[in-house]
Amino acid sequence: MSRKLQAPRGTLDVQPADGRRRLQIQRIAAELLGRGGYEPFDTPVFEDTDLFARGVGASTDIVQKEMFTFEDKAGRSLTLRPEATAAICRAYVEHGMHKLPQPVKLWSWGPFFRHEAPQAGRFRQFTQVDAEALGSDDPSLDAELILLLGELIERAGAGPARLRLSSLGTPETRAAYLDELRAYLREHEGELSEDVRDRLEANPLRAFDADHAGTQVVMAGAPRLLDRLDPADAEHFAEVRALLDAAELAYEVDSTLVRGLDYYTRTVFEFESERLGAQAALGGGGRYDRLIEELGGPPTPGVGWAAGIERILLASQAEPESDSRVYIAVLAEGRKDAFLLARLLREQGIRAEMEQAGRSMKGQLKQADRIGARATLIVGDQIEVKDMDSGEQQPVSDAGEAVSRVRELLG
């Protein structure tokens, strides 16, 4: 017997109720980001592997463990995109977007892929909405993007969310700080987890993320980058904070916030749901002022975020919107008229479904009930309109009158 076919591990099928909610969130995102001047943008779902190795950072978990990498027929190494920013920066350089008025503000929506151990809220294929502002280091962009993500989470029904905020400074401050942190970790090597010890040289910041109790004790006394920022970075961070304060958005400054990607400079932030378990991060991001240059472009600052749609849906308590429907019941002689009436109603912006499964009239009326139709049109030699709330049924003289009557009923 052949093996039962199922969706691959860590992936999911989007079924209609879920699909409707996703579309709703996508519309909210399009509206919110559109009003902020963000333009829709998209990049391929696969890229040269090298882009992520260079862009995301060779020592990150994403690059070391989580990429879906394959060779194409010409032997090129390609990778299913694990995140959005590196590709958007690649596109910025490739299309010479530095020649456009700055900042270039973009948003996108689509599937991303990480080979992680699946669990609640963690998938191997997931959907992100992503927003980026390239070409300016103005702190108002950091604050604007944070507000936009906060508002998206609220409007998607996934609030309240806790906002954690920090600054990682510039690469130079960070390098000096990392030396200091490495020296501190080496002093306490015996108390650290094996994993942290193994990556002490390559990525000592990850020690702040460790679950290991001994490591956590050591990290409580570790030097903090926020106390080492140079004056320009400290001022930038103070301005971001002042704007968030002015907008009355609550946040916690958390100097242990490290994100799992190497490219961040200055601002980093993350929104966490209070309703989710271990995988609580709804979305996060930060500034990446050196990334475009590292990918071969002119020195160009940038800031952005990504949010996980599956997580937002898990945290969301909003009901899917349901639109008023009209059902068209068909008697044999009315088949063509019913078909044209369905088209007419749809052209008028009304959701209309006609009988298409060979049901009896009794079965058709039952189906109208089942789908929650507000009105049913019964189409034979003539057209009758049934108010599904009162049960009242009246003939109308033609299709035009049927549409008017339906409009009255839908309110």
Which residues of this protein are in contact with ligand AMP, per CB under 6 A? Answer: 83, 114, 116, 122-123, 126, 128, 259-260, 281-284, 306-308, 310-311
Q: CB of residue 238 vs ligand AMP: minimum separation in angstroms?
A: 25
Q: Which of 169/283 has CB closer to ligand AMP? A: 283
Which tokens sit at 326?
Answer: 């009209």
Residue nearest to ligand AMP (CB): 308
Which tokens sit at 44?
Answer: 């391929």
**3-state DSSP call for residue 110?**
strand
Distance CA 105, CA 140 (A): 13
Phi-psi region of 35 (alpha: psi -120 to 50; beta: other; left: phi over 0): alpha
Q: CB of residue 30 vs ligand AMP: minimum separation in angstroms?
A: 19
Q: CB of residue 215 vs ligand AMP: minimum separation in angstroms?
A: 21
Q: Which residue has the tokens 């008028």?
A: 348
Q: Which of 260/297 has CB closer to ligand AMP? A: 260
Q: Does residue 101 have a cis bond before it (omega within 30 degrees)?
A: no
Q: CB of residue 123 vs ligand AMP: minimum separation in angstroms?
A: 4
E runs forming strands in 302-404: 302-308, 325-330, 351-354, 375-379, 383-387, 393-396
Distance CA 72, CA 261 (A): 26
Q: Which of 154/323 has CB closer to ligand AMP? A: 154
Q: Which of 121/334 has CB closer to ligand AMP? A: 121
Q: Which of 166/376 has CB closer to ligand AMP? A: 166
Q: Which of 283/301 has CB closer to ligand AMP? A: 283
Q: Which of 141/153 has CB closer to ligand AMP? A: 153
- Output the CA torsion sign for 30, 32, 34, 36: negative
End-to-end CA distance of the chain: 56
Contacts 24+ apart (CB under 8 A), 216-220: 217/191, 218/185, 218/188, 218/191, 218/192, 219/256
Q: CB of residue 270 vs ligand AMP: minimum separation in angstroms?
A: 7
Which tokens sit at 221?
Answer: 């006394």
Q: Which residue has the tokens 């993320």?
A: 209
Q: CB of residue 60 vs ligand AMP: minimum separation in angstroms?
A: 10
Q: CB of residue 285 vs ligand AMP: minimum separation in angstroms?
A: 7
Residue 402 · residue 396 · CB < 8 Å: yes
Q: Which of 305/327 has CB closer to ligand AMP? A: 305
Residue 90 · residue 43 · CB < 8 Å: yes
Q: CB of residue 114 vs ligand AMP: minimum separation in angstroms?
A: 5
Residue 300 backbone dihedrals phi, psi, to 5 degrees = -145, 120
